[in-house]
Structure 1
Amino acid sequence: MQKKWWHGKVAYQIYPKSFYDTNGDGIGDLRGIIEKLDYLKELGVDIVWISPCFCSPLADQGYDISDYYNIDPRFGTLADMDELIAEAKKRDMYIVLDLVVNHCSDEHEWFQKALADPDGPYGKYFYIEECKDGKLPCNWRSYFGGPVWEKIPGTDKYYLHVFHKKQPDLNWENPEVRHEIYKMINWWLDRGVAGFRIDAIINIKKALPFKDYPVDREDGLSSIHYMLEDAQGVLDFLHEMADNTFKPHNAFSVGEVFNEKQEELPDFIGDNGCFSTMFDFNETIFGGSPKGWYDSRLITPDDFKHCCFESQRKVENIGFLSNIIENHDEPRGVSRYIPEGDCCETSKKMLGTISFMLKGLPFLYQGQELGMENLTFTSIDEVDDISTLDEYQVALDAGLSPEEALKTVNRLSRDNARTPFQWNDSENAGFTSGTPWLRVNPNYTKINAAEQTQREDSVLNYYKKLTALRKNPQYADTIVYGDLEPVWEDCHNLMAFYRRGSQQTLLVIANYQKQPQTVTLDAPYKKVLLNNLGQLAAEGTQLHLEGYQAVVLEL
């Protein structure tokens, strides 16, 4: 594997609307990120991915971009972004932006021109079809529910949107569209951005000509995933994009990739792949159901273990994964992956240990380092997320009561990760002096950065130990590049693996349950590098692990 500048780094995702508000309007902003760069530096963060802060009507919280070249006034100005890039650089940190190019906003200049003249040049920037008698070109269901086709008022024409109707899909088959996208990417890279997280990118390739797929719900529509499995040629677009943008700049790129095929992995993340890395979503998609969230299965500790190891085996000797516990599209990881009733600081640290010690690039999501938890919504009226609102309706349509439907969406709602960051125990968790755009989790008086900064055994300070271990020159080569080898894989609620480097072998052991558990090593260990509890009970080669105890040993 070719060594890259980003391999030994630690990455952190910021959802700017909920991070830190400096002007009291209830919405986080770029100046808030600037003010908190030292907090991130102390945490051990190198790469900062900022979710969309471009001009947007916020139909999908910024993933509907109306101007790729400007910052939305809610978040600040282009000058603020330039300052953020410069301040990050002073601290040897890198700013990564969100690249949303499967679709734009219906308020983008290109789409407005397409509406004015659907048969003109800008009409070809999108998928616009004439539909006689209302017969749609295909029966695909959008990610947020309903058909992917929306009528252009006053015409017989419809445009395609695989997400929200205010997010028309860009036509990547049109070379003019691709040229405009590459020009925009290079404009940002030349401005000092270190790279991009690439949103929903598999969707840019449609299976054409349009056709129906099997109906899988009572709405008479078909999951978009059938089409994606059928589509061919997305890698041609992605390699062209990389060759024209990322590679000349030696930029970092991380893909949001679903539906990848095993034989395609070298093309995605190999030495000559189109992306630097891609996220591991094996755990997040586990238990999903085509019927909807209400029919999904809970993930057990053994399921989580098998998902992680399956991903590691898939990319072995091919490239780097980006490992996550949560992000802006998922609920809080500690509420999802720790069995109900067992969520505590010890189990939160255990989950962090597993994530950081897997091979790949560790991505923290804001608040993960504090062990922030899901918010319990008492009414659907408290929900902002369009995906959650759709899944609530799907549950009702399936016959669930409003109470049952709310409980279902509570568990998986994207709003769980979007509640304001909990800085301290003052009003609104120190996030804003105004009214926060989304309700603050009431547990902020107990879970907040100020309290955890001061307490040596906090989750925050444990994450600082994790980042420090990853960067420790004595162990960095093994942690970053060493092979990963599962051990005791069939042991119930135990997750353990070796990290084998050229100079040393480390052993990571996590007792993924409340009850104590004993393991026997092949030989005595040399040193305890990390332990989420105060001590480790050992008798010779036997280790007696407390509930949710996690250790990293040098052998």
Structure 2
Amino acid sequence: MIGRPAAARGDQSAARRTWWKEAVIYEVYPRSFKDSNNDGIGDLPGIIDKLSYIRDLGADTIWLAPIFASPNRDNGYDISDYKAIMPEFGTMSDFDRLMEKASSLGLRIILDLVVNHTSDQHPWFQKSRASKDGPYRDYYIWREPKGGLPPNNWPSPWGGSAWTFDAASDSSYLHLFSPYQPDLNWDNPAVRDEVFSIMKFWLDKGVAGFRMDAITMISKMPSFRDMTVEELKAPEYVYAAGPHLHAYLREMNDRVLSHYDVMTVGEAYGMHAQDIPLFTDSGRRELDMVFAFDIVHVDRQGWRKIAWPLSKLKDIYAAAGRPQSPDSWNTVFLDNHDQPRAVSRFGNDTAFFREASAKAIATMLLTQCGTPFIYQGEELGMTNLPFEGLEDFEDVQVPTAWETLVKRQGVDPEAFFESLKGLGRDNARSPMQWDASKNAGFTTADKPWYRVNPNHIQINARECLNNPDSVYYYFRDLIALRRKHPALVHGSYQDLDPDHSAVFFYCRESGKSRLFILINMSDRGFTYDSPHLAQASLLISNMAHRGGTRGVTWLAPWEARVYTA
């Protein structure tokens, strides 16, 4: 079975570690993917039913958002039992069938592992709060309040204090996120032993690795001092600067990961770009890749959605194309379960431009440096949801943010709501749009767990599969192109026109193979001239190629082309 234990990879040899560099990874948000038992909630049998769809797209690895038992205060990112399946999703037998079917199709499975915190319903936390002298007390981080106030001034990035007073134990516990998600105390060796045991449990079942949620937060500042005024502007950078973070990741690698042929990708929340090689340089034996947030923060400033110039995007990709370490590796993503829809964010989701811009940004995604991650529905050009009021949001962050920003800090409510519509996590969590029927073919229940985007009538998988010129087939062709041309995986990167305000034009080169990627990232067409294209041959385009004189071409709005020379 794919992902079973292999020889130790302590030597970090390239021969044993290239599969995840050449992979294309498809994220599934199980709750919203496919409902098989008509209860309105997606489940594991529903995923099994659609594995061939993912395989046919060309992806070879599936990342499952959390499937563990959970009270679902944060849609599974609050785990109450790491070795059990969420009942709404199915059983362990269903998971085993999923692994077997995936393996038969040549698909690997990686799991979303949340080990910075647990649910407050986890037995460890219940025992921790029950006794100050019990063995589980030190599994979490408890401090005495100061005169009725929190132990320090640490804020949660989600709003409010990072501490909650627990009357039952007359103490406050730390939660960097929701009060329903108390942080584990990684300084306790027993906690690390528990986490490593959990990892081995799933790796021995054949999973091919982990996406590690909030992994940069596991080591805490030992003094628990108050933050300065400057630190409070971006507390996540303080939380990611714990003194033992890298030691704990190396221990994880030495004790667990080095004994399996698997991949790890960490959520690098609170990390500066220059720090990423500290995690991903293979000689350090920590993680294989991380998700940096530069790209998905390009259009936001705190809670505000802001305009962004193309030059900002180019600078980020250019920096990623100049790795500070030759032994580190990048991820490439625009969509995931925490981000709004890529076509609504980086493209133009109006009816006239949606398909062209979805294909244009797909071209960018699948030709950049690193392993690409596709989020369910991205291959269809799914868009953001229409929101009419706060009651339309399901995200646990929204009420806290509203209370903190609008009610306490006086942020204009209309401005906050407008930004929330464009940046909110719920945009990605609406059900997958399989067809034009009621509830988009996601479920036959009267009411799905979350509302379906009304544009599923026009935008759905069946429509795409019946249209050879659809966004889906363009994704498939780009994935095939990436596999055919190693320069798109291992090649160098050079931005050939960094100052152009609308055109993204860059080169990927490896040995004698050179590919040029030309993308019009705007709603206007114009003539574009480059000597690099004089002797180039077109490999793929999202539009009919109109030709032109050598090196000169007409670019339609959102036109994308890949050439070889």
Task: Please give the residue correspondences for 1:261-340 in structure 2 after superposition, counting only pairs within 5 Å.
Answer: 261=272, 264-272=275-283, 273-289=285-301, 292-293=302-303, 295-315=304-324, 317-338=326-347
Match of 1:209 in 2: 223
2:466 equivalent to 1:457: no
5+ residue gaps, structure 1: none
From the superposition, tell whether residues 238 and 18 of structure 1 become closer, same or farther in structure 2 (CA, over 3 Å): same
2:509 equivalent to 1:503: no
1:381 to 351, 374, 391: 391
In the TM superposition, what whole-angstrom CA distance separates every residue of 1:198-221 from its partner, at most 9, and x where no partner exists? 00011101111111113479xxx7
1:315 CA displacement = 4.9
The 3-state SS of whatever aligns with 2:479 is: helix
Match of 2:376 in 1: 366
Moved more, 515-524 or 499-508: 515-524
- Contact preservation (8 Å) 2:337, 2:425: yes
- Contact preservation (8 Å) 1:349, 1:462: yes
Task: Please give the residue correspondences for 1:13-162 in structure 2 after superposition, counting only pairs within 5 Å.
Answer: 13-162=27-176
From the superposition, tell whether residues 463 and 275 of structure 1 become closer, same or farther in structure 2 (CA, over 3 Å): same
- Contact preservation (8 Å) 1:349, 1:459: yes
Match of 1:178 in 2: 192
User: In structure 1, how many angstroms separate the alpha carbons of the residues matched to 2:483 and 2:67?
Assistant: 30
The 3-state SS of whatever aligns with 1:9 is: coil
Moved more, 354-363 or 278-287: 278-287
1:374 CA displacement = 0.4
User: In structure 1, how many angstroms separate the alpha carbons of the residues matched to 2:233 and 2:517?
Assistant: 43
In the TM superposition, what whole-angstrom CA distance separates every residue of 1:526-553 from its partner, at most 9, and x where no partner exists? 4211101011432112122111111000
From the superposition, tell whether residues 157 and 223 of structure 1 become closer, same or farther in structure 2 (CA, over 3 Å): farther
Match of 1:530 in 2: 540
Moved more, 487-496 or 295-304: 295-304
Match of 1:354 in 2: 364
AA in 2 matched with 1:336? R
Count of residue pairs brought into register by the alignment:
546
1:318 CA displacement = 3.6
User: In structure 1, how many angstroms separate the alpha carbons of the residues matched to 2:268 and 2:76?
Assistant: 20
Match of 2:419 in 1: 408
Match of 1:253 in 2: 264
- Contact preservation (8 Å) 2:321, 2:494: no
From the superposition, tell whether residues 315 and 51 of structure 1 become closer, same or farther in structure 2 (CA, over 3 Å): farther
User: In structure 1, how many angstroms separate the alpha carbons of the residues matched to 2:489 and 2:532?
Assistant: 24
The 3-state SS of whatever aligns with 1:69 is: strand
The 3-state SS of whatever aligns with 2:532 is: coil
Match of 2:9 in 1: none
2:482 equivalent to 1:470: yes
Task: Please give the residue correspondences for 1:184-223 in structure 2 after superposition, counting only pairs within 5 Å.
Answer: 184-215=198-229, 223=234
From the superposition, tell whether residues 539 and 316 of structure 1 become closer, same or farther in structure 2 (CA, over 3 Å): farther
Task: Please give the residue correspondences for 1:509-548 in structure 2 after superposition, counting only pairs within 5 Å.
Answer: 509-517=518-526, 518-522=528-532, 524-548=534-558
Match of 2:488 in 1: 479
AA in 1 matched with 2:289? T
The 3-state SS of whatever aligns with 2:538 is: strand
Moved more, 318-327 or 363-372: 318-327
The 3-state SS of whatever aligns with 2:173 is: strand
Moved more, 301-310 or 496-505: 301-310
- Contact preservation (8 Å) 2:35, 2:443: yes
- Contact preservation (8 Å) 2:129, 2:168: no
1:261 CA displacement = 4.8
The two structures, once aligned, show a CA RMSD in angstroms of: 1.9
1:274 CA displacement = 1.1
- Contact preservation (8 Å) 1:137, 1:211: no
1:408 CA displacement = 2.0
1:320 CA displacement = 1.7
TM-score (norm 1): 0.94
2:239 equivalent to 1:228: yes
2:165 equivalent to 1:165: no
In the TM superposition, what whole-angstrom CA distance separates every residue of 1:42-65 from its partner, at most 9, and x where no partner exists? 000101000001000011110000
1:507 CA displacement = 0.4
1:391 to 373, 394, 401: 401
5+ residue gaps, structure 2: 1-12
1:119 CA displacement = 2.7
User: In structure 2, how many angstroms separate the alpha carbons of the residues matched to 1:184 and 1:536?
Assistant: 56
User: In structure 2, how many angstroms separate the alpha carbons of the residues matched to 1:445 and 1:300?
Assistant: 33
Match of 2:251 in 1: 240
User: In structure 1, how many angstroms separate the alpha carbons of the residues matched to 2:319 and 2:307?
Assistant: 18
Moved more, 545-554 or 271-280: 271-280
Moved more, 409-418 or 478-487: 478-487
AA in 1 matched with 2:264? S
1:171 CA displacement = 0.3
The 3-state SS of whatever aligns with 1:139 is: coil
The 3-state SS of whatever aligns with 1:507 is: strand
2:437 to 398, 401, 426: 426
2:19 equivalent to 1:9: no
Aligned-pair identity (%) = 37
User: In structure 2, how many angstroms separate the alpha carbons of the residues matched to 1:11 and 1:230?
Assistant: 29
User: In structure 2, how many angstroms separate the alpha carbons of the residues matched to 1:340 and 1:298?
Assistant: 16
User: In structure 2, how many angstroms separate the alpha carbons of the residues matched to 1:278 and 1:431?
Assistant: 31
1:22 CA displacement = 0.6
The 3-state SS of whatever aligns with 2:270 is: coil
Match of 2:10 in 1: none
1:429 CA displacement = 0.3
Moved more, 150-159 or 369-378: 150-159
User: In structure 2, how many angstroms separate the alpha carbons of the residues matched to 1:194 and 1:325?
Assistant: 23
AA in 2 matched with 1:462? Y
In the TM superposition, what whole-angstrom CA distance separates every residue of 1:454-486 from its partner, at most 9, and x where no partner exists? 1011101100101111122xx2x2111111111
- Contact preservation (8 Å) 2:349, 2:383: no
TM-score (norm 2): 0.93
AA in 2 matched with 1:411? G
1:395 CA displacement = 4.5
AA in 2 matched with 1:440? V
The 3-state SS of whatever aligns with 1:424 is: coil
1:242 CA displacement = 1.3
